[in-house]
Chains A and B, each alone.
Chain A
Amino acid sequence: MPETAAVLDATGVAKRFGAVQALKNASLQVGPGQVVALMGANGAGKSTFVKILTGVLKPDSGHVRIRGRESTVTNPAGARKWGLVPVYQEPSLIPDLSVADNLRLGDTALEPFRHWVAELGLPDLDPEAMIRSLPLASLRIVDLARALAIEPDVLLLDELTAALPTDLVERVLRTVRAQADAGRSVIYISHRFTEIAAICDRATVLRDGLTVGDVAIEPGIEERIVEMMLGGAVAAAMTETRPAGAASTETPRLSVRNLKTGTRLTDVSFDLHKGEVLGVVALEGQGQDELFDTLAGQRKASAGTVEVDGAAQTFTHPADAIAAGLTLVPGDRAHALFMSRSVRENIAVPLLARFRNWGAIRMADEAAKVTSAIETLQIDTRAQGEVRRLSGGNQQKVTIARWIAKGVQTLLLFDPTRGIDIRTKRQIYALVRDLADQGAAILYYTSELAEIRLACDRAVVIFNGRVVDVIDAKDADEQTLMRAAYGLTEKAPA
Chain B
Amino acid sequence: MTMTDTPTPLNRLGRLMIDQPLLPLIGLLILLVAVLAILNPGVLSMFWAGNTIKIAIPLAMLAACQTLTMLTGGIDLSVGTVATIAAYLTATLAPMIGVPPAIAIALAAAVVIGLVNGFGIAVCRVHPLIMTLGTALIATGCLLVYQRYVIATGVLIPDFLIWLGTGKTGGLPNSLVLFVPFAALIIWAQRRSGFGRLLYAIGANEAAARLSGVRVWQVHLALYTLSSLIAGVTGLLYLGQIKTASLSLALPLDLPSVAAAVIGGTSIFGGRGGFGGTIVGALILTVLTSMLTLMQIPEGGRRILFGLIILAVTALFIRLTDRS
Contacts and interface: CB of A to CB of B under 8 A. Distances in A.
B214 A341 contact: no
A122 interface: no
A28 to B, nearest CB: 15
A317 B215 contact: yes
B193 A359 contact: yes
Contacts, number: 112
B150 interface: no
A352 B197 contact: yes
B5 A335 contact: no
Contact of B2 (A14, A354, A385): A14
A330 interface: yes
B153 interface: no
Interface string B287-324: 00000000000000000000000000000000000001
A298 to B, nearest CB: 7
Interface stretch (B56-64, B131-139, B205-213): B205-213
Interface in B1-42: 1-5, 7, 15, 18-19
Contact of B211 (A12, A61, A335, A340): A335
A338 B213 contact: no
Interface stretch (A157-165, A343-351, A425-433): A343-351
Nearest to B3: A14
B14 to A, nearest CB: 10
B205 A353 contact: no
Contact of A355 (B207, B211, B218): B218
B2 A25 contact: yes
Most chain-A Cβ atoms within 10 A of its Cβ — which of B2, B3, B215, B324? B3
A345 B198 contact: no
A350 B208 CA distance: 10
Contact of A296 (B1, B211, B272): B211
Nearest to B267: A340
Most chain-A Cβ atoms within 10 A of its Cβ — which of B4, B19, B194, B222? B194
A18 interface: yes
B200 interface: yes
B1 A361 contact: no
Interface in A295-332: 296, 298, 317-319, 322-323, 328, 330
A360 B192 contact: yes
A299 to B, nearest CB: 12
B193 A353 contact: no
B271 interface: yes
B212 to A, nearest CB: 4
Contact of B271 (A16, A334, A340, A359): A340
Interface in B235-250: none
A21 interface: yes
Contacts of A25: 2-3
B213 A336 contact: no
Contact of A298 (B5, B195, B204, B211): B211
A340 B204 contact: yes
Nearest to A347: B212
B126 to A, nearest CB: 20
A79 B18 CA distance: 30
Nearest to B200: A341
Interface in A37-93: 60-62
A72 to B, nearest CB: 19
B201 interface: yes
A492 interface: no
Contacts of A12: 1-2
A168 interface: no
Interface string A351-376: 01111011111010000000000000
Contacts of B218: 355
A361 B214 contact: no
B7 A16 contact: yes
A357 B205 CA distance: 20
B271 A352 contact: no
A339 interface: yes
A337 interface: yes
A338 B271 contact: yes
A282 B262 CA distance: 48
A453 interface: no
Interface residues of A, number: 45
A361 B200 CA distance: 15
Contact of B201 (A16, A338, A385, A386): A338
Interface size class of B (residues with CB under 8 A): 20 to 34
Contacts of A339: 204-205
A318 B201 CA distance: 16
A59 to B, nearest CB: 10
Nearest to B14: A18
Contacts of B204: 338-341
A348 B197 contact: yes
Given A341-B201, A353-B198, A360-B193, A336 B5 contact: no
Contact of A352 (B3, B194, B211): B194
Contact of A353 (B3, B192, B212, B272): B212
B271 A341 contact: yes
Contact of B212 (A21, A62, A350): A350
A338 B193 contact: no
B200 A336 contact: no
B201 A345 contact: yes
Interface in A256-299: 296, 298
A318 B208 CA distance: 10
Contact of B208 (A322, A336, A359): A336
Contact of B213 (A17, A18, A354): A354
Given A14-B3, A361-B197, A337 B212 contact: no
Given A318-B212, A339-B204, A340-B272, A359 B3 contact: no
Contact of B19 (A296, A318, A350, A385): A385
A24 interface: yes
A400 to B, nearest CB: 13
Nearest to A356: B194
Interface of B: 1-5, 7, 15, 18-19, 192-195, 197-198, 200-201, 204-205, 207-215, 218, 222, 271-272, 324
Given A338-B271, A385-B18, 5 more contacts: A18-B15, A18-B324, A338-B200, A358-B195, A385-B19
6 contacts: A14-B5, A17-B324, A341-B271, A349-B212, A353-B213, A361-B197
Interface of A: 12, 14, 16-18, 21, 24-25, 60-62, 296, 298, 317-319, 322-323, 328, 330, 334-341, 345, 348-350, 352-355, 357-361, 363, 385-386, 402
**Nearest 8 Cβ contacts at the A-B interface:** A352-B194, A338-B204, A353-B213, A322-B213, A358-B195, A358-B194, A319-B213, A16-B5
